[in-house]
Structure 1
């Protein structure tokens, strides 16, 4: 029987953190990610303007350069966008929306993929073959194409976009969970559990799935970053969030048409924020992958 908890867990976490600190780039990325998360959580308290409050917007202050002082006396450090919103406030709220979309889509895809993949490995037979052939077919298509088609069918909105992202990403979790669970199923402790009368659901959730989590956690970090970039791409293409939602992709789309006119800040600054967010998640995820994989551990 496999143990899912050990008194040595705190020491293992301490060793994990000590190994993590050796990679200075990953530590910097983690600090940046924590700061972004805090800014997104406390956005209403730290930004000078609520970009959702239409009464606070002044259209005459639209497309103003960084450092502009508006008619209400507010200084716009990063300028204003095409709707007169303070760009710094819109970017912070955009980070909030992008993180919400990425984390929610990643969590749902993680749950579906982990259950389906580990269950398929446990059940075996023709059902396992059918599930994995469907997954293989889906993985043969680019995720952006699948997300674009589903988003175009469902229409604009947060819920519709999350469903599109989940549909485009759950197959990655199914494939990873199936591979890890299939390896675990052949081990002695699972065979011992199968020799006594207990439900298959208990064997999957108590023995197989917990030991298949490390590779799923690594995939989750990658897919959260991928979901954020997919959301930005779909919003840029006009099939993601509506124009009233100041996500990073929508901010870039709104400012793209003004690049050639010299109003670079409307698109460039949200783009920089998006790049920093995705890079921070990927760098932290790469370090976690290296530490959880003995072959990559230094």
Structure 2
């Protein structure tokens, strides 16, 4: 990598924060384990035909009827909990990234378009965004999930619709600053179409604050998906998302079978905290006022 590039300088500053580097390593490890889940897990928790009810609620470290050790125990359906957590992490990471990407594209485009167009268009778009921001994201996600039903696409749509306003507000502020600069006025005086000026000149310069928002919203999407699945409004019960695993074991906590809820909860917390730590470090580096 060229040492004079901004990306290399960004990495040099990033690696000086050991906590952020450790969080990044955790994220990479979780992503690798989630991708390789079908190859390294002893059981496919999606395959209901291979679940044995006699293996239900086995404590950690016991050997099941399949002949392998359940290192984290089993849940109420007889799923190997380690396998279910790794598959659940796949779902959480996929939905979090997909919902964040959709919200990023829609929100950034709306915010930049409002700042670029100005006038009545800006007023209508931003008043609509402000109206949505007045409601908690969890409330909007609950309503949309109940309306759209269960499924991956429905969940991604609900989460993106509940979160795009954060990107729109951030993009509007950054694009309004860029819109007033001389290079944008010079570009508009050329025969270039206005849309090219918007997407080639304004939006790229709005990326730093949007990247920070994206890291936060990906973590929020993962937490919202787990919350909705815990409440029974997320993914189908046949898919072991982390929220569903926590919900399945909640009723057994008082009976001493803590592992059914505790271990998926720990995995969820570690993933969200790691993403937020990386996002905080990126925010500090991209914001000159926060640089140490």
Q: What is the TM-score when the length of structure 1 is the normalising length?
A: 0.96
Query: For residue 116 of structure 1, what is the aligned residue in structure 2?
Result: 110
Structure 2: segments with no counterpart, 5+ residues:
none
Which of 254, 271, 275 is matched with 1:277 structurally?
271
Q: 1:266 aligns with which of 257, 260, 269?
A: 260
**CA RMSD, 1 decimal:** 1.2
2:221 is equivalent to residue 218 of structure 1: no
Alignment of 1:282-293 (within 5 A): 282-293=276-287
Task: Report the CA distance between 1:10 and its aligned residue.
Answer: 5.6
| Equivalent residue pairs, number | 292
Separation in 1 of the partners of 2:125 and 2:3? 35
Return the alpha-carbon distance in structure 2 between the equivalents of residues 76 and 167 of structure 1. Answer: 39
Q: Runs in 1 of length 4+ with deviation above 4 angstroms?
A: 7-10
Distance in 2 (alpha carbons) for counterparts of 1:240 and 1:290: 34
Over residues 84-112 of structure 1, what are the superposed CA-to-partner deviations in whole Å (9 max), with x where a residue is unaligned? 00000000000000001100000000000
From 190, 196, 202, the counterpart of 1:202: 196
**Distance in 2 of aligned mates of 1:246 and 1:115:** 34
Which residue number in structure 2 is paired with residue 236 of structure 1? 230
TM superposition score normalised by structure 2: 0.98
Q: For the residues of structure 1 that align with 2:119 and 2:74, how far apart are their CA atoms?
A: 59
Shift of 1:9: 8.4
Offset from partner CA, 1:103-151 (integer Å, 9 cap, x none) = 0000000000111111111000011011101100100110000000010
- The residue number in structure 2 matching 1:76 is 70
Q: Distance in 1 between matches of 2:289 and 2:2?
A: 23
Tell me, yes or no, if the aligned pair for 2:3 and 2:9 is still in contact at 8 Å: no
